[in-house]
Structure 1
Amino acid sequence: MSTNAERLHSGTRTLSTRLVMAGAFVGALGILTLSMVFSWPVASGKQSPADVAAENLAAAFEAPAGSCLNWRPDGSDMKTVGCDQPHLFEVSGDVDIAAEYPESAPSPTNEAWREIAKQKCTTGAATYLGGKLDPYGKYSVGALKPSDEQWRDGDRKLRCGLQRAVPSGNTLVATTGSAKNQDQSDIYDPGTCLALVNKNVGDPVGCEAEHAYEITGVVDLAQIFKDSVPEEAQQQAAMLEQCTKLTNEYSGGLDLQSKGLSLTWDTRKAESWDAGSHRAVCKVGAPLSDNSGLAPINGSVKDAGKSSAPSSGSSAPTPSSTGGG
């Protein structure tokens, strides 16, 4: 069998949030063809770099459920790694579509492949997670599909798995630890800033760049609500209390309102809670006065409150003057 393989992912998700325009997950369903670029030396001297990489890729494509895969940003050097190491894909199982696509059938279009992955892999991925796949969580269902050459050779196997993507869906985020053991809450660590795209939330960026939100804290709601799924109003009250405290500590006591900034947070839907997703983020943004979205922010709020009467060159964050409409 040829050792080329291609990756696709499927899914559209939204996040429950207190503020309008707070970061819908838009699954840009892209195909990544492995470029098979090999440029590292081989210690044994008996195999070429291309041979070693091809063997790694073949082993990765045949990896059983529970295996974790990683590859370079350009798509090359796909290989199996321990799930305790950073990885981009966790195999949940495989499906064979030979019954629907016999030997004479042409390879499906990209759009058709995405629908196949959605139909064939979602149920298996949920089963792999013990029936608990958070529809609003950080994991989406993906698949490794046969390359055109493999398809011509009769390969009809689809390798299903779990992955995490940035909000745009254009890039995968490495995770550590098996998805089976993870809180699936779609959160980022404090200090993460999220880009502003058309008054809405984009991918992580440096906080020195214009951004929509800065994450200032993470709250484990399961530590507050231990017995049952909390109502929305209960979550709002708990997040208000916790986020006010965490953001004050994070920012060094910055008066957000004086900078045109607002504190907001996420909450968790019942479906997420039942899947074991109990954590939610606190974040600082600048909602536009007409409620049409968010204004761009320049600079981080971290420790900004420790400087008194900041000058125009200070790092204290403010909404950009170009973001008011």
Structure 2
Amino acid sequence: MSTRLVMAGAFVGALLVLTLSMVFSWPVAGGGGGGRSTATDDDAAANLAAAFEAPAGSCLTWKPDGSDMKPVGCDQPHLFEVTGDVDISGEYNDSAPSPSEEVWRDIAKQKCTTGAAGYLGGKLDPFGKYSVGALKPSDEQWRDGDRKLRCGLQRATPSGKTLVATTGSAKNQDQSDIYDVGTCLALVEKNVGDPVPCEKEHAYEIVGVIDLSQTFTDGTFPSEEQQQTAMLDQCPKLAAEYSGNLDLAAQGLSLTWDTRKQESWDAGSHRAVCKVGAPLKDNSGLAPISGSVKGAGQTGQPATPPPSGSTTPTSTPGG
């Protein structure tokens, strides 16, 4: 086991995860107090070593503060699925300076995307929940001659600032960019943000998930019009069940939904969500909603109505 992996404490704050749009950093392990090694430090070092040596098909995770990066079974919640290694020593010799973060993003895009798509059997949904990422050498590792890039797949929130844990190998997943029923998505400058508790102001609440392949069973891509018709037929039923038959219009709320593009459909992404929100009358975005609509028609405690500037239709097809 190489010294650079055993001495996990030396890597605090050093590793970066790169997506194609955002750079993430985290401390992968804590150092021992006063320079003394502890069992915890040894465990962290062993976990880190195992993560760096994990072959394609392995899944990695770490704590919210970035510590204790380690491999886990892909059937467990994880943040990163390894798709392969890339050695860039041919382009960057031992004396080359470490690339900037922007250049690292370009390197990840150029070197990892093709391999990730191949890992998925050539079907990477460009609009799906997975993005291509990489673990790059720290500056210290770079100075020591490390030129290996660990490529992988991960899921980021709409802001691109946080990774979302997934369960199951990406090879076996419908890649549709959806969230579970009951998830609320933040309102950020009239647009959709990251998942938040429904008690907080939000843009949408997911009230249903529909597998369009159950409606269009011949495998042929359904047109936008066909998808809209299918969602219009099914979403109101799911919304009524979820909300306890809440009168959405009376609350200034709208039922909307997503559809799938052909690139997504061809990659096997067939699921779409039904969601409740409050589009503004001028179509400039969304109004804030507070509280969940789950069972509100029965409890008599619906979500806080949005401002009067929002619309009131009960169903509005979305993107």
Report the TM-score when normalising by structure 1. 0.88
Displacement of 1:35 in angstroms is 4.8
Q: Is the 8 A contact 1:146 1:156 kept in 2?
A: yes
The Cα offsets for residues 89-124 of structure 1, whole Å up to 9 and x where unpaired, read as 000001000011000000011111111111110000
In structure 2, what residue type is equivalent to 1:270?
Q
For residue 291 of structure 1, what is the aligned residue in structure 2? 283
For residue 259 of structure 1, what is the aligned residue in structure 2? 251
For residue 233 of structure 1, what is the aligned residue in structure 2? 225
CA distance in 1, matches of 2:101, 2:287: 36
**Alignment partner of 1:120 is 2:105:** no
Displacement of 1:8 in angstroms is 2.3
The Cα offsets for residues 136-158 of structure 1, whole Å up to 9 and x where unpaired, read as 00000000001111101101000
Q: Is the 8 A contact 2:281 2:309 kept in 1?
A: no
For residue 23 of structure 1, what is the aligned residue in structure 2? none
Report the TM-score when normalising by structure 2. 0.89
Q: Is the 8 A contact 1:81 1:87 kept in 2?
A: yes
Cα RMSD after superposing both structures:
1.7
Displacement of 1:189 in angstroms is 0.7
**Alignment partner of 1:249 is 2:247:** no
For residue 222 of structure 1, what is the aligned residue in structure 2? 213
1:1-325 aligned at under 5 Å gives the runs 1=2, 2-3=4-5, 4=11, 6-11=15-20, 27=21, 29-37=22-30, 48-227=39-218, 228-307=220-299, 310=300, 315-321=301-307
Q: Is the 8 A contact 2:278 2:289 kept in 1?
A: yes
Structure 1 38/77 Cα, relative in aligned 2: closer, same or farther at 3 Å? farther
Displacement of 1:298 in angstroms is 1.3
CA distance in 2, matches of 1:273, 1:55: 41
Q: How many residues align?
A: 297
In the alignment, structure 2 segments of 5+ residues that lack a partner are 6-10, 312-319
For residue 15 of structure 1, what is the aligned residue in structure 2? none
Question: In structure 2, the residue corresponding to 1:318 is in which secondary structure?
Answer: coil
Structure 1 48/203 Cα, relative in aligned 2: closer, same or farther at 3 Å? same
Q: Is the 8 A contact 1:95 1:160 kept in 2?
A: yes
Displacement of 1:47 in angstroms is 5.7
Displacement of 1:56 in angstroms is 1.0
Structure 1 189/168 Cα, relative in aligned 2: closer, same or farther at 3 Å? same
Displacement of 1:6 in angstroms is 1.8
The Cα offsets for residues 227-285 of structure 1, whole Å up to 9 and x where unpaired, read as 11101000000001110110011111011111110000000000000100000000000
Question: In structure 2, the residue corresponding to 1:77 is in which secondary structure?
Answer: coil
CA distance in 2, matches of 1:248, 1:60: 46
Q: Is the 8 A contact 1:260 1:318 kept in 2?
A: no
CA distance in 1, matches of 2:135, 2:187: 31
In the alignment, structure 1 segments of 5+ residues that lack a partner are 12-26, 40-45
Q: Is the 8 A contact 1:122 1:141 kept in 2?
A: yes
Q: Is the 8 A contact 2:180 2:209 kept in 1?
A: yes
Q: Is the 8 A contact 1:142 1:160 kept in 2?
A: yes
In structure 1, what residue type is equivalent to 2:169?
S
Question: In structure 1, the residue corresponding to 2:222 is in which secondary structure?
Answer: coil
In structure 2, what residue type is equivalent to 1:31?
F
Question: In structure 1, the residue corresponding to 2:117 is in which secondary structure?
Answer: helix
Q: Is the 8 A contact 2:292 2:303 kept in 1?
A: yes
Question: In structure 2, the residue corresponding to 1:273 is in which secondary structure?
Answer: helix
Structure 1 291/115 Cα, relative in aligned 2: closer, same or farther at 3 Å? same
Bigger mean CA deviation after superposition, 143-152 or 298-307: 298-307
Identity %: 72
Displacement of 1:323 in angstroms is 6.8
CA distance in 1, matches of 2:225, 2:309: 31
